[in-house]
Structure formats: structure tokens, C-alpha cells
Amino acid sequence: MHFLPRLELDLEDRPFMEPSVRDMTNIGLPALKFCECLIVLSIVRSERNYPSFKRVKNIGMFHVSEHCRRLESVKLGGFAKVTEAGYSSILHSCRNLKKFEVLTLPLLSDSVFDNMIGVARNGLLLLGASALTYLILWVNIIIA
């Protein structure tokens, strides 16, 4: 068996009809535990037709944070039922995290900023966060 020192996974979904019961769920995300060398994870659902993964909640993000601790870059889009608890679990479990992007996050509130001290070393991008009262679209976090 060959060892992969650095693995990147980039998935973008653009469904043309309502996703079936086989759509991504909380049960599917634990499969990432077999990708121990995963350093870049990008899972995005296009906003065009069916903009969200309706069956993924915080528990799905808890699986990612538990099994993918070597992540350096994360981009997630279309997880409409995930709150700051799910995203914060990734921010705090992935100590090598340098870049964290989340697109279309209607359940994210201002309390997410309370959990971001010392994480996402190079950048944080939050787009589509309608519940935020702060007007923050791009935050550079610089660690001296």
C-alpha cells in the first residue's frame, strides 16, 4: 500500500433536479476518516438550482473535525442546516488550518466570531451569512 503524504479533495455539485435520498448526508461524511492525509477539503453545492445539502447538519461537521485533523484548507458551500457549532468544531480541531471559507450560511450568527480567536491562520471568508449583524466579508487574521 502506498502512503499519500498530502491529499486534496475538491467536490462541486450542480444538480439539475431535486437531489434524491442518495444525496450527501451526515452518514456519508465519516467516510473521510479513510483519508488520513487529507489537507485540502472543498465541498460546494452550486447556488443555481438546488442550493443546499438538506440532509447534512452539525453532526456531519463534527465527523469532519474528528477524522480530518490535518486539514490546512477548507471550503464548504451549501450546508444550510449547519450552525456555528458545526463550523467551530472544524476551526478548533484542525490545528494546521490556514484557510477557511464558508459560502451560503444562513444559520451563522455573530457568536461564530467568539470561537475564531487563534484559528484560520491566513484567512477566513464568510459569504451569504444573512444572520450576521457585522458587515464582515473578509477577515485576515495575522499571527505575529
Least confident of 54-58, 96-100, 126-130: 126-130
Q: Note the residue count of the chain.
A: 144
Tell me what the mean pLDDT of segment 112-131 comes to. 60
- All domains in the chain, ordered by first residue: 7-14+25-139 (3.80.10.10)
Tell me what the mean pLDDT of segment 111-116 comes to. 62
Per-residue model confidence as pLDDT tens digits over 14-66: 666 665 656 777 778 888 888 878 999 998 887 666 667 888 899 999 999 99
CA atoms within 13 A on the CB side of 69: 5
Nearest residue to 92 (alpha-carbon basis) of 119, 111, 71:
119
Cβ atoms < 10 Å from Cβ of 2:
3
Q: What is the pLDDT of residue 100?
A: 85
Q: Provide the mean pLDDT of the chain.
A: 74
